[in-house]
Structure 1
Amino acid sequence: MSSESGPHGEVATATGAGDPIPDPGIPPHEPRLTDIDERAARRAERQVATFFGLAALLLVAFVVLYVVVPKNATFLGFGASHMGLGLTLGLALLFIGVGAVQWARKLMDDHEIVEERHPSSSTEEDRQETIAIVRQGAQESGIGRRTLIRRTLIAALATLGLPVVILLRDLGPLPGSRPAHTVWRRGVRIVNDVTFKPLRPEDISMGMLVNAVPENIQELPEGRERNAARAKAAVILVRMREDDIRALPNRRNWGVDGILCYSKICTHVGCPVNLYEQLTRQVFCPCHQSTFDLSDNGRVVFGPAARSLPQLPIMVDSEGYLVAQSDFTEPVGPSYWERG
């Protein structure tokens, strides 16, 4: 079987018998009901407008639900806020889409177009023709004369921005000075983060790393508040030879018999650091390999972290337990723009 194209785009296909198959051409146009019946067209217009109007109402309902429904409320075992927000926004987008499809199928001009193939390069004439086609499409869509559809579509698209604006609330508030403070206070005992047993200097051997938390964590109610406080106040304790410690002048009394205490939160993006190398006295972050020298005030020696690990000044209380001298003297956690 072979084929060839004529000068006007007609395609003739030769069969085994040598008889060509004529170009069938474009079938006769069949008008839609809305093309010949103005009442059907008006009915279709009201249907499309109804979809757009419902979309606008659902988007307003989205905002109302976001403000009114408590985030911990439940409905049928599911989060009421999430369910309501999902349904209203999802249905609004669905109705806008359905309305647009119905508008195109029933009301926009319906006719067949033949377009000859042409080179891919665009000429000035082609650009002008494209502009004319766009203008023709706007005219044929009927948006200029079908004011009900135009107004409801504008209302639906305008209210579509409301959820975006209202959801910006979830980006705040800014942390302010909260990262600069933890539950550590003078005299708060340092306890093992698993057993909550208070630690003495003799409990920490040379080269050992111990994960710890403040004892007063247990005084907070269980749940979100305690978990947040514990995440910020988590520390690591290490013991090394005092001759190996290169403390800053104002930190020379921050340790106890070679025991130093640092924040467990990496200053890069907040991952927990506890991979300790005894020989180099360096601790590693498993996320992005930031490396801190604990014998040199937690200084960064490798990796993307830009700040030293915050050090917690410690001492021994009257009963021989390790306790904090104060809270951290600098914010703990990852770097952020407010810290300068």
Structure 2
Amino acid sequence: MSGRLTIALDAMGGDHAPRMVLRGADLARKRHPDVDFLIFGRESEVGPRLDKMKRLKQVTTLVHCDDVVSDSEKPSAALRGSRDASMRRAVEAVRDGRAGACVSAGNTGALMAMSKLVLKMLPGIERPAIASFFPTLRGESVMLDLGANVQCSAQNLVDFAVMGNVFCRTVLGTVEPATGLINVGSEELKGHETLWAARDQLNELDLPGRFYGFIEGDDMAKGTVDVIVTDGFTGNVALKASEGTAKLVSVYLQRTFKSSVFAQIGYLFARRAMQKLRQRTDPRRYNGAIFLGLNGITVKSHGGTDAVGFANAIDVAVDMVREDFLERIRSDLASIDRSVPAAQAAG
């Protein structure tokens, strides 16, 4: 796409909203001078802050919304009682064509429910999946599902693989991605019948790149494959375990360098290398999970992120629109027979 692009933002979502959202938008404005923002939120809270950010205000339209979806609100309750919520209005802006994508750091369940209700599903996709990318020894990989679907059929896993393949090529720029299914072992007979059925079908698909087969948990960090496919239960546990491990290593390093005078002196010599390590593993750099399978683009920012992380989530939204992600995934879905034989799908 060329020309100016509009991104809708939920100003009230996140632990540090609306300050974090506005500061993140201002950072994104500098990176994307051809992007305008449609910001939804309470005028009394957002307006005075926006007035102080003159350059951001020039490319922003603020829409007042009375309601806010709380982090503890159940998705069903949010759907029933929050028709004027900032989150819902941002999603509706995408549906109505006023924005190319929306970004929110609010309640994940509510955002997914609203996005699915308002934007609808892409033809041929039964369930949406949450996808995100993270660092590996070889670069970056994309993983899905990260929590939208606790239980999945073989057909769901096949759909996730197709969508993850398109996402990897579109956002990460990997020309021929390798795709793998998370299992308890790489051997052919490991796992259960649903995984076997999905594996057999993926072996037959003519996806760009190649289907690697089964992978194990340690293959995630190795970068064995570019697209990691799993059910939402396993994916969410794996993601949170990875985040916890990263924090653990960070704390251990801090304590080690503070443990003695010699260790502190050693840190002075290693400071630049440590800065590079922090930048490479900074979770803000990988902020921005995408709801794949919807007939519109919704990006979920981590609720506890800061302005830098939120700006990165906006970057993901801009990239997906600029690269015509929806059109590319529609094309791939139309050209690939993803049906799982009934005998296999029964598992």
Q: Common fold, TM-score beyond 0.5?
A: no
Q: Which has the higher helix share?
A: 2
Relative contact order (alpha carbons < 8 A, sep ≥ 6): 1 or 2 greater? 2
Q: What TM-score results when the alignment is normalised by the length of structure 2? A: 0.21
Larger radius of gyration, structure 1 or 2? Answer: 1
Q: What TM-score results when the alignment is normalised by the length of structure 1? A: 0.22
